[in-house]
């Protein structure tokens, strides 16, 4: 996904302004003229300087690249599906891990990802179940990480 330097520069300008705005409310250290806002302000000023250089050099340069290009994956349904599974599958752990539980969620995401990569169904089921349960056992039993069982709580071991 290609984003032109002028668009990136504009985004950085907005971002840096937001940092400056938020940092303006930070207090100073008693007895000093500086405080919690110092580093964020330096970062924001640096970002503004870089943003201006990126915008100007992109506008002056020729040929001028397009504002943004998504890449050919966006027009390929299979690759789009794969990216969707990676992003949404990972994001699904945030609201649903406690409710559904790690084993069911991980088997589902892994199975979907494997199938989108054209792995045959039997191998995909075998890999997703084995890997999910192995990782779950390793982290919950060896490292004592409380990975939630969710709907499978009744058969938790």
Partner 1 sequence: MDNLINAFALVADPSVLGVILGASIFGLFVGAIPGLSATMATALLVPLTFFMEPLPAIAAIVSSVAMAIFAGDIPGAMLRIPGTPASAAYVDDAYQMTLRGQAERALGIGLVSSVFGGLVGAVILTTGAPFLAEFAFQFSTVEYFWLACLGLSCSVIISRGSPVKGLVALLIGLFISTIGIDVTGGHPRFTFGSIDLMGGVSFIPAMIGMFAMTEILRFAMAKQHNTASVPKSSSSVYGGQWQMMRRNKGNLARGSLIGTVVGILPGAGSDIAAWVSYAMAKKFSRTPEKFGTGHDEGLAAAGSANNSSLSGVWIPALVFGIPGDSVTAIAIGVLFMKGITPGPMVFATQADLTYAIFLTFFVANILLLFLGYFAIRGARYVVQTPARLLMPIILLFCIVGSFAITNSVFGIAIMLVLGIIGFLMEENGFPIAPTILGIVIGPMLEDNFMASVIKADGNIIGFFDRPVAGTLGAITVLIWTVPLISMAIRAILRRWTTAEAQDPRS
Kindly tell me which residue out of 6, 13, 85, 149 binds partner 1, with binding defined by CB under 8 A: 85
Contact 50, 1 (CB under 8 A): no
Q: Quick one: CA dihedral 3, 6, 12, 14, positive or negative?
A: negative
Question: C-beta of 38: minimal distance to partner 1 in Å?
Answer: 8
Asked if residue 13 binds partner 1 (CB under 8 A), the reply is: no
Is residue 59 within 8 Å of 6, Cβ to Cβ? yes
Tokens of 81: 């599906």
Q: Exactly one of 6, 47, 101, 149 binds partner 1 (CB under 8 A); which one?
A: 47
Q: Which of 14, 59, 67, 98 binds partner 1 (CB under 8 A)?
A: 98
Chain centroid, CA 68 distance in Å: 20
71 binds partner 1 (CB under 8 A): yes
Q: For tokens 């075998």, what's the residue?
A: 126
**Where do the H-state alpha helices sit in the chain?**
5-23, 38-60, 77-100, 102-116, 121-137
How far is Cα 27 from Cα 10, in angstroms, rounded to an integer? 29
Asked if 145 interacts with partner 1 (CB under 8 A), we say yes
Q: Does 117 bind partner 1 (CB under 8 A)?
A: yes
Site membership for partner 1, residue 61 (CB under 8 A): no
Give contact residues for partner 1 (rule: CB under 8 A): 1-3, 5, 8, 12, 19, 22-23, 26-29, 32-36, 38-40, 42-43, 46-47, 50, 53-54, 57, 71-73, 76, 79, 82-83, 85-87, 89-91, 93-95, 97-98, 102, 106, 109-110, 113-114, 117-119, 123, 127-128, 131-132, 135-136, 139, 142-147
């Amino acid at each position: 996904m290609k984003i032109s330097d002028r668009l990136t520069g504009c985004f950085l300008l907005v971002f840096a302004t937001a940092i400056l705005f938020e940092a303006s409310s930070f207090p100073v250290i008693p007895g000093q003229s500086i405080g919690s806002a110092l580093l964020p302000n330096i970062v924001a000023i640096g970002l503004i300087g870089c943003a201006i250089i990126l915008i100007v050099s992109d506008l002056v340069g020729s040929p001028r690249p397009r504002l943004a290009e998504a890449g050919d994956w966006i027009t390929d349904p299979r690759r789009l599906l794969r990216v969707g599974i990676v992003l949404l599958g990972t994001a699904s752990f945030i609201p649903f891990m406690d409710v559904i539980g790690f084993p069911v969620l991980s088997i589902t995401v892994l199975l979907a990802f494997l199938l989108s990569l054209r792995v045959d169904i039997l191998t995909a089921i075998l890999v997703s179940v084995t890997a999910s349960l192995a990782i779950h056992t390793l982290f919950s039993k060896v490292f004592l990480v409380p990975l939630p069982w969710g709907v499978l709580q009744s058969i938790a071991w």
